[in-house]
Every structure is written in C-alpha cells, then in structure tokens.
Chains A and B, each alone.
Chain A
C-alpha cells in the first residue's frame, strides 16, 4: 500500500472515530422511547432475534392503535453478541442519542452492571434475565422481570411434583454457569419444605456433549424426577436418551429457556413426556380468552416462539405502566413508573399469562406446567396456573 493510501485509510478511520462526537438530538415531544440491548448474535441469538421481532411488531401495533395516551412509541434495539461490555456500549449509544424511558436488558450481568446507571438516569428496565438475584426491589428498584425468577420457576416444578408424587426424589441437573447455579439453593430449601428428597445435583458445562459419567450418576440415584436448569438444549436430549436406554423411569423437566416449542422439536423423540414451567401461553394455545394472543396470531401465520411473545409482554407492561403514569399527570421517569408499577394490581396481559398478574418484589410468580406431546407437536398444559405465595 502506498503512503498516500495508508494516510487515506487513517483519515477514514479517524473520521469514523469522531463521527459520533457532539451529536445531540433535539428532544422530541410526545414520544416514548424503548431502548434495547438485544443478543442478535452469539449463544442467545435464537432468543434475541425473536424478541427483537416481537418488540418491533408490538410497537407497530401500538402506534396503529394511537400510541400510549397519544404518545408514539419508538423502539431502538441493537445487537450485543450477549457480551456485557457490548450491552453497556449499546446502552450508552442509545441513551446518548435518544431520551429513553424504558430499556430492555439482555443478561443478568448487564442488568447488574447497568443498575447504578439506571438510577442515575431514572430509567425503568426489564429484561431477559430471570435471575433470583435481581428479584430484590431494594437493590434493583428500577428493574422488573417478565415472569417468575428461576428459583420460583423451579419452585413451581417442585410444587407440581409434591402434588403429583408426594415424597418423590428429585435430581437437580444444572450447568456450571451463573445461570445454572441460580435456583439450586432455593430449590433445596423448597424441596425440604415440601417433603421431597433431593437425590443429588449434577453439574455439567453448558452445551456438554459427553455426559457418560453424569448419566451413570443419574442411574445410581434413580430419581423420580430430574430438573434441568441453565441449558438451552444440549445436553438434555442426551441425558434423556441415556436414561431411556438404562430403563430409568425418571421424568424430566426444564425451565423457561428450554421450554420453547422449537427446542422441544429439536429434542425429537427424546422430548416425549418432557415437562417444564412456562409463564406465557404458547402461540397455538387457544384455550381461553386471550385478545393479545389473537392479535399475535393474526399478524403471524406461522408459529412464533415464547421469546417473541416476551417482546409483546414487554411492550404491554410498558403500555400499562406508562399509560397509568401519564394519566396520573406524572412524567415518565423511572421512579414515577416504579411507583405506578407498585400500585398496580391484577394487571391484564391480554391473555399472555392465563390470569391477571401481580408483581411480588420484582417478579411475577405465576406459571403453568406443560408436557410435550411429540405426536401432536405441541406442549400440553398439565396443571392449572400456579401462583407462588
């Protein structure tokens, strides 16, 4: 490369560096801005892409309906690759270019990291994380969850087990990650309170392929139930396949991120009888009145995942909270909206949850147990909606 060309390249790079300098947008009246750090690449891209689509579709829909109390909604979502420093960069990028009212976070680490900044900027945040750590309004006053935290999800599974098979033994199988370890301590305590026996815990790397030693441990324990947590797919099918080969009668269960129909489909035959907890209605669940689910089905001809529905739930809760705050004549600051959220009771989610919901702490401890029916290609509810006390 000649010297001139190298200088030209250098200048272009410098231009790119300084192109973001001093760009202050004028404040736009009558607009509610929803920013989002979304993992559209990386290990959680499968969820992020759907969530992004859900948020986009919700915003189009709500603006067609006249917005929220006359305010148009603007959505700005950017990819993070599921990396905390990139998520923070995206937060900084979006908040320095728009007056953000709501924010969607993509991970526990991001939501912990950005907490201080939320309080300073007075922005209300929700996110993809169901980490029990975040279910603490004193430490995380400007955050809320879109369902039960992981401890509550496992708690619901244990409640179901205790009712179906009193005194049953349960094996906890979790990934060696912050995500996987989250509910284990609480699960032990709840199992003891419910008179269930914890047969042991098995820890594997997320996405592990060789689980020979762990499968033998499962065989030795021979539990009535095994609860997976901290995985998306692998090594769940392999565990189930090995258990079937070893003629174990164990029933297998999972939590939110394992429970989407696409994951169940990928498990193939191994999924037959697989159970788990899901706070939202499935796309194809037409069992009760659910006007928002009807809208979602109207917009989409084909199956949409639970994370797509989660995007709609984010928007709906934002609509409810912002609407109430505006009707009370208050500004859309994080603390005002948190006050509103705390005052809300029996929130209507348009049927996404099977009944009106209430926040307890930062979470909504409501969900239902489903079982996979492989032949029908569907998740079938096997319990009523369970609301934890």
Chain B
C-alpha cells in the first residue's frame, strides 16, 4: 500500500511520472512494446500498427477537443492532407520517409490553422459543423486536383526504406510507427506541463476567464488546431505508408466520427483516454470476431448470421460506456489504480 508521495519542488509536482512505481510500470510497458513483435503474428502486428496510428490521431484530437474544448469533425480530412503530401513527395521527390512524414504533418498543420479560423468566432456545435466543411472541401480537393492526387484513381506509395530495408510488413513497420507514437504521446503529455497546455485547459473551462487571465484566445485556439492537425498529418502520413494506397475515400467524415467516439469512450481531456479509446475502438470489432469464431461450430452460416450482431454489440458497448462510464475508460483505469494503491485495506 502506498500512503503518499511527497513532493518537495514544483518540478516534482509537475512530473509525468512521480513515483518509482510509475517509472517501473512505464519501463515494463516499453519492454512489452519492444517484445511484442517477437511474440505476435502478422495479424496482431497489423492491429498494433493500426492502433498506433489511431492513437496518434486520437491524441491530436484530444488536445483540440478534450483539452481545449474545440469540437472538431475535420481530423480525418487533416489526416488526408498528411497522407496525400507524403504520397506526392514519395512519388515525385524520393525524399527520405521521415522528411515526407514531417512535411505531411506540416501541410496538415497549415490546413488545420486555415480551417480552424472559424473557431475564433464560433464554438460548440457550430464549430463542429464548421469543421465538417474541412472534410467536404478537402475531399473535393482530393477528388478534383487530379494533377497532384490522381483523383479517384488514387495514389500508390512504396513502403518506407531504412538503410535499404523496406518496412513493408507489419512486423517491420511496427518499429517505425510505435516509437513515433510513444514520442508523440509523451509530447502531448508534456504539453500540459507547459504554459501552452494550461492555457488550452483554461480556454476549455471558461474562455472568457482565460481571456481575462491574459490568454490571447485567437493565438491559443489556432495553436491547438495546429497541434491537433500536426498529429493528424503525421498519422495520415503513416497511414499512407502502412496501407500503401490512398484515394479520396480513404479519409471519410466517418473516420473523424470514429476518432471523436474514441476520445469520448476513452475519456476526454486525458492522454490515457485517447490511448484507451483508440485501442477500444480498433480492437473491439476484431475481438468480437472471436465470438463469431467460437460460435461457428454450433451455428450454420455463423459468419452471415452473427456479423450484423457483432456490429450491434459494438454499438451497444459504446452506448453502454456513455451511459455507465461517462468519463470513459480512463476513469476505470484510475479506479483500478486506486484499488491497488490502497490494497489490501479498501477497494
């Protein structure tokens, strides 16, 4: 049982990991991530890569929506900007993948700032509708700017090369996407130890008060859009490299809704929430396949009969979370941690 963790400085109070126990668990997590490719097959590694990409994008959206309170339904479109930038650079310049990824994230940042401009005048549902415009406008650009995007025919992208080795399979791509994900998540967590992060939270909690406190709302709101779009652009670039082909329908509005659902289910305004939400939303439909597999020997045409049930169960799980755990998976995680903190005396 842990009875307290005394802090003797402001730095200690702001630290991401405040106790040796937390450092130990973080170390175990990193070691597990490093060992995972040696234990899992290509399917599970594929899912791990997909989850990592979704975590990056969901974390970006969490910064904007969960921490700054700016509801956005344009995250997938910004991913598209990153993906198309990467695809174009890869096809036409042959630049190293990391340069392409940064350029993709940079282009998405520019797009995010432009489409974030309405946030200076509107908020809440109105802003959500304004950001839907980003989806439609960028979709239009992806379809019609044929000289760059190849329109509906889409673009193919070769796998990234590291010292002559193509990171083509999930077991290879894992070593690219997971470190980037870890760095970006740590970056997001650290953001909220800075003035910028605290300003975002102040804007979310009450923008007028934040303004009175000296926070320049236009600058910080656009900064939040820029950071969220940077994350989206990076996720989109990785998506393009991972799947190897993109077309204008690769980043639909539904994907933005998926990401928004991920941070709601995971827990808005917590870094862990974005991570758990992305894992839940990606993994649950796949985990439910095992239910179909288990029932297959007993039910004729199980896949036909149970596939719609699988979709419904997924929907019900999301509704269940919203009803019974409105603070998301992160809250469950916190309760589990509290239980161990006090174990064996209370639960």
Give A residues with C-beta under 8 Å from B.
2-4, 6-7, 10, 13, 16-17, 19-24, 40-41, 45, 49, 52-53, 77-79, 81, 84-86, 88-89, 92-93, 95-97, 108-109, 112-113, 115-117, 120, 133, 139, 177-178, 181-182
| A40 and B339 in contact, given A22-B40, A92-B43 (Cβ under 8 angstroms) | no
Question: Distance in Å from the Cβ of A92 to the closest Cβ of chain B?
Answer: 4
Question: Distance in Å from the Cβ of A321 to the closest Cβ of chain B?
Answer: 25
Known: A3-B335, A6-B335. 11 other contacts (CB 8 A): A4-B347, A10-B336, A22-B40, A41-B307, A41-B311, A89-B47, A93-B286, A113-B244, A116-B156, A116-B159, A178-B152
Question: Distance in Å from the Cβ of B122 to the closest Cβ of chain A?
Answer: 26
**In residues 28-70 of chain B, which contact A (Cβ within 8 Å)?**
39-44, 46-47, 50
| CB < 8 Å neighbour of A88 from B169, B243, B311 | B243
User: Scoring B residues 101 to 142 as 1 if CB is less than 8 Å from chain A, else 0, what string do you get?
Assistant: 000000000000000000000000000000000000000000
| A40 and B154 in contact, given A3-B347, A93-B289 (Cβ under 8 angstroms) | no
In whole angstroms, what is the CA distance A296 to B159 when docked?
Answer: 44
In whole angstroms, what is the CA distance A81 to B339 when docked?
Answer: 39
In whole angstroms, what is the CA distance A10 to B335 when docked?
Answer: 12
| CB < 8 Å neighbour of B308 from A4, A22, A41 | A41
Contact segment of B77-85, B175-183, B193-201, B245-253? B245-253
Residue numbers in A under 8 Å from B307 (CB-CB): 40-41, 79, 81
| B285 located at the interface, meaning its Cβ lies under 8 Å from any Cβ of chain A in the complex | yes
Query: Chain A's interface: helix, strand, loop or mixed, by majority?
Result: helix
User: Scoring B residues 137 to 172 as 1 if CB is less than 8 Å from chain A, else 0, what string do you get?
Assistant: 000000100000001111010110000000011100
Across chains A and B, which 5 residue pairs bring their CB atoms closest together, nearest first? A3-B339, A3-B347, A79-B307, A112-B245, A92-B46
| B290 located at the interface, meaning its Cβ lies under 8 Å from any Cβ of chain A in the complex | yes
| B304 located at the interface, meaning its Cβ lies under 8 Å from any Cβ of chain A in the complex | yes
Identify the interface centre among B44, B247, B301: most chain A CB within 10 Å of its CB.
B44
**In residues 223-280 of chain B, which contact A (Cβ within 8 Å)?**
243-245, 247-250
Residue numbers in B under 8 Å from A13 (CB-CB): 287
The answer to whether A6 and B40 touch across the interface, beta carbons within 8 angstroms, is no
In whole angstroms, what is the CA distance A10 to B245 when docked?
Answer: 36
In whole angstroms, what is the CA distance A10 to B287 when docked?
Answer: 14
Residue numbers in A under 8 Å from B40 (CB-CB): 20-22
The answer to whether A96 and B247 touch across the interface, beta carbons within 8 angstroms, is no
